[in-house]
Amino acid sequence: MNKTQAPIGLFDSGVGGLTVAAAIKQVLPNESMIYFGDTAHLPYGDKSKETIVQYSLNIAQFLLNKGCKIILIACNSASANAFEEVRTFVGERAVVLNVIDPVVEYVGNEPSLKNIGVIGTKATINSGSYSNGIQSLRPDVNVSSLATPLFVPMIEEGFIFDDISNGIIRSYLSRPELKEVDSLILACTHYPIIMNQIHRFFNFRVNIIDSAQIVAERLKFILSEKQLLNTSAKASHQFFVSDHTDYFEIIAKMFFGEKIVLQRTSI
């Protein structure tokens, strides 16, 4: 196979990374993707760094075996805790990207952003990846971080457009850490799924920064820079999970825009 026609591999702890996959499909319609949702081990956000690293390395090997030219860690918890380890492990066999650096760079190039909130899993927030990265580029910016650990299991269990999800969202977003923010980074790829509820909570007065589009555009730049951009072949996508859940298929179709056939595999 021509290297440009090799697939893009991406992984997440569950369904959240499909928000990134959907953006990639829009920005890079000729690129094939292999997605791995580690549903047997979700959520990653309350796991130790060592555990997240081990899961990530196992998945990286799986994607390498599938011949992926790029491995995108489409999970903030894994990006924050396992990026360097995965990049070292993969070496020259594939390009490794994460979903944090493109967003940090985006904020660093937006002088209008002043008071930024960051919400994510405990693993992501505790790593300081966003706050430290942003303030290294923009010392003038105020960054307020808040762990919102119930969002991922809430989404994975299908509690999205109901009183349960709205109550949890209100409980977190009304915390004093987010009182003065004018922009909010959704530092978890699951969170765009509840973006409308987040918008409504803030009465549409807060700029919501969704990483999916930013990451997709960055991926396009990297592929072009490394002469790996596929401009001819028709895209085909494969979806793997470590444990099958009926809800994954339902929400996958909702956010990827087409029916998805899941293949279960252990890593």
- Which residue type sits at 106? Y
* Tokens 């922009």 sit on residue: 183
Q: How many helices (H) and strands (E) does the chain have?
A: 11, 10
d(CA 161, CA 240): 26
* Residue 68 is among the residues annotated as catalytic for this protein: no
Give the DSSP letter of residue 233: S
d(CA 140, CA 166): 33
Which strand (E) or helix (H) includes residue 79?
A: helix 76-90
Whether 152 contacts 43, CB under 8 Å: yes
**How many C-beta atoms surround the C-beta of residue 88 within 10 A?**
10
| Torsions phi, psi for 147 (to 5 deg) | -75, 135
Structure tokens of 31? 């690129």
Structure tokens of 252? 């996958």
Pick the catalytic residue: 20, 52, 59, 75?
75
Whether 75 contacts 129, CB under 8 Å: no
| Torsions phi, psi for 214 (to 5 deg) | -60, -45
Q: Which residues pair with 34 in a beta bridge?
A: 9, 238
Secondary structure class of 255 (helix, strand, coil)? helix
* Residue 188 is among the residues annotated as catalytic for this protein: yes
d(CA 205, CA 193): 19
Pick the catalytic residue: 125, 188, 214, 215?
188
Give the active site residues.
Answer: 75, 188
